[in-house]
Amino acid sequence: MRKLIGVGVVALGLVFAGSAMANDGASLYKSKCLPCHGAAGAGTAMAPGFQGSAFLKGASKADIAAVIKDGRAGAQKKYKKFALSMPPWKASLKDAQIDAIADYLKTLASK
């Protein structure tokens, strides 16, 4: 009986740890955004960086979340050298995860 209770406690711990990790903006950024936007949001040849971004500094969390959810089509005027579109993430990320990424992006903008 003690083993069964112990296993239950461990399982519950893993469930809560997993959901906390799933909503960690930095971890989500690394798995979803880093391939295009680079380590620490420095940017790559495929997508712009976030460090010092005027858009991120001035945008509300809802504005940032909308870009993550819906993506952006084609090159933006400010970033003509980036011909790729940003894909929408609304089908593969939960709202809480998108909010966590938006919070993390705000921290990158302040660097």
Q: Which helix (H) or strand (E) holds 16?
A: helix 2-22
Whether 84 maps to a domain, the answer reads: yes
How many CA atoms are closer than 13 Å to the CA of 8, on its beta-carbon side?
5
CATH code of the domain containing 69 = 1.10.760.10
Whether 20 maps to a domain, the answer reads: no
Whether 19 maps to a domain, the answer reads: no
How many CA atoms are closer than 13 Å to the CA of 85, on its beta-carbon side?
8
Whether 15 maps to a domain, the answer reads: no
Whether 5 maps to a domain, the answer reads: no
Which of 18-22, 26-30, 69-73 has maximum average pLDDT?
26-30
Whether 81 maps to a domain, the answer reads: yes
Domain of 69, in residue numbers: 25-109
Look up residue 77 and give its two tokens: 């005027």
- Nearest-5° Cα angle at 108, 55 to 78: 30
- pLDDT tens readout for residues 30-85: 999 999 999 989 988 888 888 888 888 999 999 999 999 999 876 555 555 666 78
| This model's pTM is above 0.85 | no
Whether 89 maps to a domain, the answer reads: yes
pLDDT band at 10, cuts 50/70/90? very low
Contact (Cβ atoms closer than 8 angstroms) between residue 27 and residue 97: no
